[in-house]
Amino acid sequence: MSIARTPSLLPLPLVATLVVLGTSPLWNAKLGLYPYVMVEIAIWMTFALGYNLLLGGAGLPSFGHGAFFGVGAYATGLAVTRLGAGLWTALACGALAGAIAGAIVGAFVSHRRGIYYALLTIAFGQVFWFVSIKWHSVTGGEDGLLNIRRPPVDLGFARLSLDANESLLYLALGVLAVVALFLWRLAYSPYGRVLGAVKQNEVRAAFVGHRVWQYKWSAFVISCTIAALAGSLFALAQQSAYPNVMSLHQSGFVVMMVLIGGGLVSFWGPLIGVAFFLLARDLLGAYTETWLLWYGLLFMAVVLFKPEGIAGLWRAGLARVRRAFVHAVPATPARRNESAS
């Protein structure tokens, strides 16, 4: 453990993720996958990292986060279909809508913690879902917003079409990279360290002078903004936005991904969790329609036996290897030669 934690400028897990996903058009067909899955993985990774700022970073269990993902999807859909917005405007509208919704909901939930926090966020999530179904004139009711075209990427000097899923993948990876680097910096910033202190001991944090409420609220708003940004990309990927996008299912999925990946103990754990979940869905789903049943059982096993998730397993495995190595390399030169051979 280091005295003064310093983030690396280009964290390896992020680089690895971007390389693997970025090269996926070259190999995914061989695994029976297709470009769209990779787009979805990149989007959910963004969502999950943002979600984990709240769960792993601040210790606040929001179980209604799908709502903000959905708010982003609808806002982007509306911006494109009603206003004819360009790509950047559409994404900004999505993120902004998420920030506003998050600011309002956060004001109600941020004095709470634990089970009350969880229940309140579920309740608010249901409110958003209900509105999306009932507010026909804006949301299109149960059908949702259809035919959301993908505006081209406007770089000023050139316009790149996003019609192909491969192109959209690179946009989604770009967003993932920016969000991940921001959250990575944040984790080691004064803000992130105080947030961690609030997570560990809210009472003490207040007694050393921190406005605890302000930190819980702002973490919620940031997390909702990122969720909405991911939702914006999702609307472009699906070319539609519909109530299911903000259903309780969606909220549950992100929790499952983050927990299985090990978000409670690891910053990058959620990335593994997302890949694991979506690949399980597509690969297992090809064999059986009941894949979610098996996944659910697996999820329960993880929560019961290894709450630290895949990242926790990985660390425990590494520690075991290291210990084995220490035992295998003893003090006497003779035996050191043995283990080297």
Partner 1 sequence: MTLFSVNRLQKRFGDRVVLHDISFGVEDGEVRGIVGPNGAGKTTCFHVLTGRYKPDGGIVTFDGHDVTGLPPYAIARRGIARSFQLMNLFDDYSVLENVLVATPELRSRGLDMLGRAARPGPAMDRAYEALSDVGLIERAARPARSLPYGERRALEIAVALACAPRLLFLDEPTAGLGAEGIARLAGLISRLRGRITLIVIEHDMRFLFGLADRISVVHWGQVIASGTPDELRTNPWVARSQLATVGMAA
Q: What residues pair up with 241 in beta bridges, in sequence order?
A: 145
Take residue 33 and report the two structure tokens written for it: 């996958």
Nearer to partner 1, 185 or 322 (CB): 185
Nearer to partner 1, 12 or 203 (CB): 203
Handedness of CA 313, 318, 323, 328 (dihedral sign): positive
The reply to whether 1 sits near partner 1 by the rule CB under 8 A is yes
The reply to whether 204 sits near partner 1 by the rule CB under 8 A is yes
Nearer to partner 1, 34 or 182 (CB): 182
Could you tell me if 62 and 221 are in contact, meaning their C-beta atoms sit under 8 angstroms apart? no
The reply to whether 207 sits near partner 1 by the rule CB under 8 A is yes
Q: Which residue has the tokens 């900004």?
A: 92
The reply to whether 3 sits near partner 1 by the rule CB under 8 A is yes
Q: Rule CB under 8 A: choose which of 28, 61, 210, 298 binds partner 1.
A: 210
CB of 147 to partner 1, least distance (A): 38
DSSP string, 178-193: HHHHHHHHHHHSHHHH
CB of 280 to partner 1, least distance (A): 31
Take residue 323 and report the two structure tokens written for it: 């210990």
CB of 183 to partner 1, least distance (A): 9
Q: Map the footprint of partner 1 across residues 52-81, applying CB under 8 A.
A: none
| Cα dihedral value 274, 275, 279, 284, nearest 10 | -60
Q: Map the footprint of partner 1 across residues 267-286, applying CB under 8 A.
A: none
The reply to whether 206 sits near partner 1 by the rule CB under 8 A is yes
The reply to whether 7 sits near partner 1 by the rule CB under 8 A is yes
The CA distance from 71 to 141, in Å, is 14
- Determine which helix (DSSP H) or strand (DSSP E) holds 85, and give its type and residue range: none
The reply to whether 4 sits near partner 1 by the rule CB under 8 A is yes
The CA distance from 56 to 263, in Å, is 6
The CA distance from 250 to 134, in Å, is 19
Stretch binding partner 1 (CB under 8 A), from 40-48, 208-216, 252-260, 331-339:
208-216
Q: Rule CB under 8 A: choose which of 205, 224, 254, 274 binds partner 1.
A: 205
Q: Helix or strand or coil: residue 159?
A: strand
Site string for partner 1, 173-202 (x = CB under 8 A): ---------x--xx-xxxxxxx-xx--xx-
Q: Rule CB under 8 A: choose which of 42, 73, 101, 212 binds partner 1.
A: 212
Could you tell me if 218 and 103 are in contact, meaning their C-beta atoms sit under 8 angstroms apart? no
The reply to whether 208 sits near partner 1 by the rule CB under 8 A is yes
In 3D space, the residue among 293, 300, 302, 227 whose CA is nearest the CA of residue 269 turns out to be 302
The count of chain residues that interact with partner 1, using the rule CB under 8 A, is: 33
CB of 9 to partner 1, least distance (A): 11
Q: Which amino acid is at 237?
A: A
Q: Helix or strand or coil: residue 151?
A: coil
CB of 264 to partner 1, least distance (A): 11
The reply to whether 264 sits near partner 1 by the rule CB under 8 A is no
Nearer to partner 1, 112 or 281 (CB): 112
A 10 A CB-CB count for 22 gives 15
Could you tell me if 197 and 95 are in contact, meaning their C-beta atoms sit under 8 angstroms apart? no
Nearer to partner 1, 28 or 218 (CB): 218
Residues at the contact surface with partner 1, assessed by CB under 8 A: 1-7, 182, 185-186, 188-194, 196-197, 200-201, 203-212, 215, 218
